[in-house]
Structure 1
């Protein structure tokens, strides 16, 4: 006896080989608590259009929320926003300019 594995599009139910499919990861959606993924054929998702240049922000003030804005809207925060983000601290390691005391 042998077993045959068949890959099927979660969108249309169309069968295909592994090479025919793409994996779509949904990282954030109002009805989801955590990311999910599904299989689709490229033709099934070709109509998805990019929203353009987006900036994803995480705003922390006791609680954390994620905000997605256009690049144009983000740039309105300050006339020198490019310098601000170029000199901003990364999330890992020490803050820029920090030197531990040599005591």
Structure 2
């Protein structure tokens, strides 16, 4: 005997074809749910914004979105060009062979 999985929208409850399912991740809430593209058309995208995470010395962190022009007033393009990537090694680091 086999089993068939049926995907449904968590917004409307409608059955969705596997190739039409969009998984929505709500980072600020630590939640995710499934929906169809048509159900998400009311979500207007913001442009010219920068997503920022502040990691404090006490181990806490906070995430927020700022207007790009406000960000550019504080953080120059040169600072970003010389900044480490969030993935991989820090700039200038070379592992030493044993």
Give the TM-score, by structure 2 length: 0.73
Distance 1:16 1:88, change over 3 A: closer
- Stretches of structure 2 lacking an aligned partner (at least 5 in a row): none
SS in 2 for 1:83: helix
Counterpart position of 2:66 = 69
For 2:5 and 2:80, the matched residues in 1 are separated by 49
Aligned length: 92
Structure 1: runs of 5 or more not aligned: none
CA RMSD of aligned residues (A): 2.5
Decide which of 4, 8, 31 is 1:36's aligned counterpart. Answer: 31
1:83 aligns with 2:82: no
Tell me how far 1:37 sits from its aligned partner: 1.3
Q: CA deviation at 1:71?
A: 0.7
Q: State the Cα deviation string for residues 45-102 of structure 1 (Å, max 9, x = none).
A: 0121111122122223434222321111101115xx0111111233442444x689xx
Cα distance, 1:3 vs structure 2: 4.1
